[in-house]
Amino acid sequence: MSTANEQGSQLSTQSNSALYDCNTFNPERKNSRLYNEDLAPLQPEQRNWGWFAIFNVWSNDIQSLFGYTLAASLFLSYGLNGWWVMAAIICSGFIVMLMVNLTGKPSVKYGIPFPVLIRASMGINGANLPAILRAIIGIFWYGVQTYFASTAVAILLTIVIGSPDTTFLGLNSTAWIAFVIVWVFQILLFWAGIEPIKHFLNWAGPLVYVVMVILMAVIWYQSGSELLPAINSIFASGSDYSGNAIQAFTAIVGTMVAYFAAVVINFGDFSRFLRSERDMRLGNLLGLPINMVFFSFIALVITAGTLVIFGEALTNPSDIVDRVDSLPLTIIAALTFFAATVGINMVANFIPPAYDLANLFPKHINFRMGGLITAVIAFFVGALWLSFISKIGIVGFVNTIGAVIAPFFGILVIDYYLIKRQHIDMNDLFSAQPTGAYYYYKGWNIRALIAFAIGALFSIATVLIPALTKLEGYGFLLGAAIGGIVYWVLMRPYAVDPDTIVE
């Protein structure tokens, strides 16, 4: 292993040299072991996404069955007035918007996906660490969301073929058939390519809003005049949360941010397809804080309404639709929930692992092969969700998952904006030569690894160690902040001199 002085010398050489014109990509890099066509920078003519596509990415994510279930669980878990929970969810939308604007901007500029962008800070080989962790998380979520999408299909199948009593791993034969149908459908959609997925999202996002509004209206009508007064007090009963109102509010904000953690980290996988940074910012504004206003209100009314009508909280929209005695609504809602959940599964949990796995072995795994590997592993995750994985608790599950990758956000943002001064040598991102700007020590930036380790240990501790339970929900934000600060301290001596940048 090299000494700290050797690595420092390499970093110093990088920071004091004039940067290459980063918008020019040398075709000779196509022979590098780090290159394949799916990881290559997109040319301007290959980018045709506008703000509406990004808006629908968030619409499908927020309105997915798992997204709604998480929000409904937050209304029930902290004993807060329902309006305050709604405000916390909206607040998280503003925070996530600011974060994805930061992580998405480099990929809008260079047209590269997350696992290639992160090479600049972690090193050409070190980038495989966040890539494989992100892939594992994406595969995990993909299996979970596949299960949730299958619950909508199971409602339709039950109408046609009934629901047998015999179960295996918590699922009866009808549920298993639904699960397999969703799993196969998603593979076929992924195989069709990015453009069909975009079109799928563009109609699924608005349609799910229509159905959720109809469902809210039905619940509101059946609840009658009891509903709005109940919102102030109905969620306070049954909660065992011991913190004060401020702690509860911030914990909800942190949990919702953690829910979006994986997409926040690798938002460049989507922003690389955008025509401009303006489209990205407008899509994020409409898709996150503004979208959250409508979503959180719908979730608030429906969750409170189920308590009023049924005497119990139903957090899965499929279960709510199943209880509402309206066959047309049941059919339309089931199809829409299925579409929304499949849509976000494609964008947030299938495409990123496909890129991440391709980044591990670019010469042997392409985008499609990475997607197939994702689907096969995720099948078993989804199959075990109901009987085993869900038993660990949905809020703790989200917080733990977010905590693992949190430091990479801080590292990526600090590196790009403060260390690299928003300039990256595009050719050296695909160079395995020791003289490359991002070779560091044998392809690994040791300082970035130290920052990740410190940030990850602390953020995971806030979730798993009982003595730190007051920090529940803050794992992702704390991990991101600590990882970024440590990285800044370690890398500051090697920051690029603005006077050496060649425009």
Q: What is the pLDDT of residue 22?
A: 41
Name beta bridge partners: 429.
none
pLDDT (0 to 100) of residue 240:
65
Whole-angstrom distance, CA of residue 503 vs CA of residue 496: 14
Rounded to two decimals, the pTM is 0.82
- Measured CA to CA, the distance from residue 55 to residue 64 in angstroms comes to 14
Alpha-carbon separation of residue 309 from 26, 95, 421 (angstroms): 64, 34, 56
The Cα–Cα gap between 485 and 491 comes to: 10
Amino acid found at 223:
S
Full set of structural domains in the chain with CATH: 4-500 (1.10.4160.10)
pLDDT at position 289 is 92
**184 CB burial (10 A radius; 0-12, 13-18, 19+):** exposed
Query: Distances from the Cα of 177 to the Cαs of 155, 159, 319, 338, in angstroms?
Result: 11, 14, 18, 14
| Per-residue pLDDT tens over the stretch 156-199 | 888 887 777 777 877 888 889 999 999 999 888 888 877 788 78
Q: Which two tokens stand for residue 100?
A: 């994805």
In 117-256 the beta strands, taken as DSSP E runs, fall at: 167-168, 171-172
DSSP annotation of 494 reads: G
What is the DSSP track for 46-91? G--B-HHHHHHHHHHHHTSHHHHHHHHHHHHHS---HHHHHHHHHH
Q: Where are the beta strands (DSSP E) in 166-248?
A: 167-168, 171-172
Q: Which class for 94: exposed (0-12), middle (13-18), buried (19 or more C-beta within 10 A)?
A: middle
Return the structure tokens found at 166: 């015999």
Check the CA dihedral 254-481-456-469 and report its sign: negative
Query: So what's the pLDDT on residue 82?
Result: 79
Smallest Cα–Cα separation from 342: which of 114, 92, 56? Answer: 56
- Cα–Cα distance, 53 to 197 (Å, whole number): 10
Low-confidence residues of the chain: pLDDT under 70: 1-31, 232-240, 318, 324-325, 392-399, 401-402, 469, 472-473, 498-503
Task: State the Cα–Cα distance between residues 180 and 186, nearest whole angstrom.
Answer: 10
The predicted pLDDT at position 172 comes to 85
pLDDT of residue 15: 39
In the 8-state DSSP scheme, what is residue 441? Answer: B
Place of tokens 């004060």: 244
For residue 49, what are the β-bridge partners? 274
Alpha carbon distances (Å) from 125 to 119, 267, 363: 7, 21, 14
Q: Cα(14)–Cα(419) distance, rounded to whole angstroms?
A: 11
DSSP 311-348: SS----HHHHHHHS--HHHHHHHHHHHHHHHHHHIIII
> Taking the alpha carbons of 72, 77, 82, 87 in that order, is the dihedral positive or negative?
negative
